């Protein structure tokens, strides 16, 4: 077993996933200690010995590594104790159990490893982590997925929704529900006061569009939203692609019983909005793939887009240096939807 960052041999590099970039970076003492204990635990649980590893900087707060081991290539993620308090682990275990079921049903996703019947693994000191096989494929830049990739993404998303929701019995509580207008107005006012005090014209302009939509929208437009299980974080950072297909859907940690149609609009906006223009051929390809497994009317598509806007409107505020790249991108998408709110039927009506 090796618990220090070593330079991989050429043979080890050749065997490692093509999308991994090796990095030599300074790691805090706490992060190094957590990493060492997690690697030790992996060896103790599964008899897997780490040959070399590469830290991954994507994501928020959680520590992540790609590993070359004597048993193959793996990905490991530590769950930060602030972001994931103990109260969240029951829900996380449910999400990972569903991910494993999807993997076994043929949905392209990483193979998980369990210990003692649990996918959320723990070190002796109480650090929680997950272990899975690495997946081939590449991330694409937001808005640049091609038609073949979008068609397959539509197929995968539709079949995923079918498998997750085909035999649901009994009522289940929603993890998130549609914000009331009172909440939206109060949140909007806080963001407007900040933007006004900082004289941020770009944000003020976007907020004026939001104000009009919040005032004029009848929440009955969401009354037909269908509750069910969804990925709930389906954007380009969580999808690996081959040149003409999806290689893997990643990061099922946020899977919850919400509104599955979030996955429709979230993936379309993330993968097909490019340079402030929606790529209609890519959208049509996604819709065609999705319809092979689930109904998707234009009314449902537009409702889905508006639902995602309603949920993510609160993220449009004066930008900060600490804002993540995905958050910056979500704001671009939210502004596009807001600016085209009354034109969505014209834009998508022919599909």
CATH number of the domain within which 278 lies: 3.90.1200.10
Last residue in a domain, options 109, 133, 157: 133
C-alpha pair distances (Å), 325 with each of 52, 138, 157, 237, 279: 28, 18, 24, 10, 21
- Residue 351: the pLDDT is 87
Q: Are residues 84 and 154 in the same domain?
A: no
Cβ–Cβ under 8 Å, residues 131 and 111: no
Last residue in a domain, options 133, 161, 180: 133
Residues contacting residue 162 through CB under 8 Å, at least 6 positions apart: 293, 294
If residue 241 lies in a helix (H) or strand (E), which one and from where to where?
strand 239-242
- Residue 29: the pLDDT is 57
**DSSP structural state of residue 200:** -
Average pLDDT over residues 83-104: 96
Q: Are residues 197 and 166 in the same domain?
A: yes
259 token code pair? 């509104």
Residue 98 lies inside a defined structural domain of this protein:
yes
Is residue 132 over pLDDT 60? yes
Q: Are residues 163 and 309 in the same domain?
A: yes
Cβ–Cβ under 8 Å, residues 306 and 345: no
C-alpha pair distances (Å), 163 with each of 103, 104, 113, 263, 301: 11, 11, 21, 14, 20
Q: Give how many domains the chain has, as a whole number.
A: 2
- Phi–psi pair at 102, nearest 5 degrees: -65, -40
Which CATH number goes with the domain that contains 109?
3.30.200.20
Query: What SS3 state is found at 338?
Result: helix
pLDDT tens-digit readout, 29-61 = 588 999 999 999 999 999 999 999 999 987 778
If residue 98 lies in a helix (H) or strand (E), which one and from where to where?
helix 89-104
Query: What SS3 state is found at 93?
Result: helix
The domain of 256 spans 147-348
pLDDT tens-digit readout, 246-263 = 999 999 999 999 999 999
Is residue 6 over pLDDT 50? no
194-232 residues labelled b (16+ CB within 10 A) or e (exposed): ebeeeebeebeebbebbeebbeebeeeeeeebebbbbbb
pLDDT tens-digit readout, 282-325 = 999 999 999 999 999 999 999 999 999 999 999 999 999 999 99
Indicate the pTM of the whole model: 0.90
Distance, in Å, from the CA atom of 130 to the CA atom of 59, rounded to the nearest integer, reads 15
Is residue 338 over pLDDT 90? yes
Residue 8: which pLDDT band, with cuts at 50, 70 and 90? very low
Distance, in Å, from the CA atom of 291 to the CA atom of 85, rounded to the nearest integer, reads 38
Q: Are residues 242 and 299 in the same domain?
A: yes
């Amino acid at each position: 077993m090796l618990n220090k960052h070593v330079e991989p041999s050429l043979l080890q590099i050749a065997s490692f996933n093509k999308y991994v970039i090796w990095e030599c970076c300074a790691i805090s003492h706490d992060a190094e200690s957590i990493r060492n204990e997690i690697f030790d635990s992996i060896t103790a649980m599964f008899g897997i010995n780490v040959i070399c590893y590469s830290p991954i900087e994507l994501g928020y707060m959680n520590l992540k590594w790609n590993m070359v081991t004597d048993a193959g290539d793996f990905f490991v993620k530590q769950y930060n104790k602030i972001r994931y308090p103990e109260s969240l682990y029951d829900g996380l275990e449910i999400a990972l159990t569903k991910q494993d079921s999807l993997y076994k049903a043929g949905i392209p996703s990483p193979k998980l490893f369990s210990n003692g019947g649990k996918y959320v693994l723990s070190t002796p000191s109480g650090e929680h982590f997950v272990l899975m096989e690495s997946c081939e494929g590449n991330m694409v830049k937001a808005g640049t997925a091609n038609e073949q990739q979008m068609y397959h993404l539509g197929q995968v998303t539709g079949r995923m929704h079918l498998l997750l929701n085909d035999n649901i019995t009994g009522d289940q509580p929603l993890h998130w529900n549609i914000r009331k207008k009172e909440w939206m107005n109060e949140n909007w006012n806080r963001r407007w006061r900040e933007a006004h005090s900082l004289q941020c014209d770009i944000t003020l302009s976007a907020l004026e569009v939001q104000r009009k939509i919040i005032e004029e929208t009848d929440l009955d437009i969401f009354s037909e939203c269908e509750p069910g299980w969804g990925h709930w974080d389906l954007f380009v950072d969580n999808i690996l692609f081959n040149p003409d297909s999806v290689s893997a859907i990643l990061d099922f940690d946020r899977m919850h019983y919400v509104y599955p149609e979030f996955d429709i609009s979230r993936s379309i906006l993330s993968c097909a909005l490019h340079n402030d223009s929606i790529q209609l051929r890519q959208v049509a390809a996604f819709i065609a793939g999705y319809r092979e497994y689930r109904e998707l009317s234009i009314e449902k598509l537009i409702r889905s887009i508006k639902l995602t806007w309603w949920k993510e409107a609160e993220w449009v505020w004066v930008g900060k240096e600490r804002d993540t790249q995905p958050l910056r991108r979500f704001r671009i998408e939210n502004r596009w939807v807001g600016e085209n709110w009354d034109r969505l039927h014209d834009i998508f009506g022919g599909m």
